[in-house]
Chains A and B, each alone.
Chain A
Amino acid sequence: MPAKVLLELKNVTIKFGGLTAVSDLSFKLFEGEIVGLIGPNGAGKTTVFNLISGVYRPTEGEIYLNGENITGLKPFQICHRGIGRTFQVVRPFGGKSVLYNVMVGAFLRTNDTRKSREKALEVLQLVGLYNKKDVLAKNLTIVDRKRLEVAKALATEPKLLLLDEVLAGLNPAEVDEAVEMIRQIHKSGITILLIEHVLKAAMALSQRIMVLDYGKKIAEGSPEEVTSNPEVIKAYLGDNYGIA
């Protein structure tokens, strides 16, 4: 049985002034998939996330979630419909505790403070922050901030989770831990689209990879297919990125 299409971008283009940041991008995400979005710096990866999550409105094209056109909806409406995201530069509510941060996300699906706390604790357990639940978010280490970022998004009970470089800035041991965490999240039934600079990890995690260069999709396929694609190699080598 073919899997259900969860997210679909149809010919999405966005221009900032004269600059085309994303050009005629189309792709489908199937329910239960874990897909990597890679590409050199400035390829427009984060812009794609901002388009999907409603921060930007596409100049042309449409975005569908579960068959519903979500183009032009506000970020909070898109989050309501089941897309959670993290930010590349983490954005904790610094003056508040870890638990508080995650409860803000959990309140999306409940009005009850106790239920929200329960949900948040559950998520904190999953991302491994339970023991730091009372620490102020601004006092967390980089790794834990990334975990928190994921936890906040998870607490909104998304069907699709957009992870923007959650592995960047981590040491190898931490990367392994984080990869394991993402696997756990995926196992719990959440579809994942991730942007990664740590290619090795992206390759290991993703069932499918899309490569973006200058706002265009230049390749798509299994990790093996993509890494042997000459155009991908050219795009990366031209930008001083070896495929590690």
Chain B
Amino acid sequence: MGVLSSIINGILMGGVYGLLAMGLTLIFGIMKIINFAHGAFLMVAMILSYWLWKIMGLDPYLSIIIIAPLMFLLGYLTQRFTIKPVLDAEKDVREPIGALLLTAGLAVAIENFILMVFGADYLMAKTAYSGASINISSLSISVPRLYAFVTSLVVAFLFYQFLIKTELGRAMRATGQDRGVALLMGINVSKVYSIAFGIGTALAGLAGIVLIPFYYAHPSVGAVFITKAFIIVVLGGLGSVHGALVGGLIIGLIESVAAQYMTATWTAILIYFAFLAFLLLKPSGLFGSRYEW
């Protein structure tokens, strides 16, 4: 693959990373919780989308209509019935980590539940466009990645508009900035949390759906993506929505381009070092506001 092709395909993949990271950063920005189950949610959506395609012949992109609301509901209920009681119990703890542990436990439970029910097989929805590519002279662009990228950007745009323009979006941002003030303004903080977690989970689900036509799903595929999402949100600044998108594009690009010059694993090591450097030296990331830490 030429350098230009790898740049383009890297950016295309980066868009999906960005979409996934946006959900993670949204949840952190508003609830101050790192959701360790985010990757597991992505995996669930991938598996669901695969089986809908396999059994009903439903195109993954059409399955969005079914799976996205389902994922929203899953996230909403997860926050309402598991995270909320933990947050309430830890109200007066200065460094609450119960919720973080909870999501880590959830991730393990979800992964292994899927393993029990669907097995450990590698699954991919081989649609008509799965193997297609657009070739312009020596340039080769993968069609499913292009679709995934465009969808990711559209969703990101809509989501951003939602945050900026709607009343609910404003309430969510207010809650993220200052929980106490939000309460005084009459915002139902607990409900905002549930909605934020629902939307975050739906975003992870969407990222999973656009991946399934060209990326193999298996029960532990979430682990691969969540580590990337961690790196991206730290790079972009924890809690920064546009930072997540830009961070996603950067990581996608680095992965793809660096792979031309070194082994994939050294690329991974390089990325981890960059991640740690950011976390240790500039925890606010590229775009993050300065958080109290």
Contact = CB atoms under 8 A, between A and B. Distances in A.
B92 interface: yes
A138 interface: yes
A19 B245 CA distance: 35
A136 to B, nearest CB: 11
A244 to B, nearest CB: 29
Range of interface residues on A (Cβ < 8 Å): under 10
A141 B93 CA distance: 17
A221 interface: no
A22 B92 CA distance: 32
Interface in A171-189: none
Interface string B61-99: 000000000000000000000000000000011000000
A86 B96 CA distance: 24
A21 to B, nearest CB: 18
A94 interface: yes
Contacts of A94: 92-93
Interface string A129-172: 00000000010000000000000000000000000000000000
A216 to B, nearest CB: 29
A104 to B, nearest CB: 15
Contacts of B93: 94
A150 to B, nearest CB: 21
A138 B93 CA distance: 10
B93 to A, nearest CB: 8
Contacts of B92: 94, 138
B104 to A, nearest CB: 22
B88 to A, nearest CB: 15
B280 to A, nearest CB: 20
A94 B90 CA distance: 12
A138 B92 CA distance: 9
B176 to A, nearest CB: 23
A165 B110 CA distance: 50
Interface string A75-114: 0000000000000000000100000000000000000000
A50 to B, nearest CB: 16
B98 to A, nearest CB: 13
Nearest to A93: B94
Interface in B82-140: 92-93
Contacts of A138: 92
A236 B137 CA distance: 79
A26 B92 CA distance: 38
A94 B92 CA distance: 8
A87 to B, nearest CB: 13
Interface string A49-72: 000000000000000000000000
B29 to A, nearest CB: 24
A78 to B, nearest CB: 22
B89 to A, nearest CB: 12
A60 to B, nearest CB: 24
B268 to A, nearest CB: 38
A94 B93 CA distance: 8
A94 B94 CA distance: 10
B173 to A, nearest CB: 24
B131 to A, nearest CB: 56
A112 B123 CA distance: 62
Nearest to A95: B93
A205 B92 CA distance: 34
A22 B54 CA distance: 70
B290 to A, nearest CB: 12
A232 B14 CA distance: 62
Nearest to A94: B92
B211 to A, nearest CB: 43
A220 B98 CA distance: 50
B202 to A, nearest CB: 37
3 contacts: A94-B92, A94-B93, A138-B92
Interface of B: 92-93
Name the 3 nearest CB pairs between A and B, nearest first: A94-B92, A138-B92, A94-B93
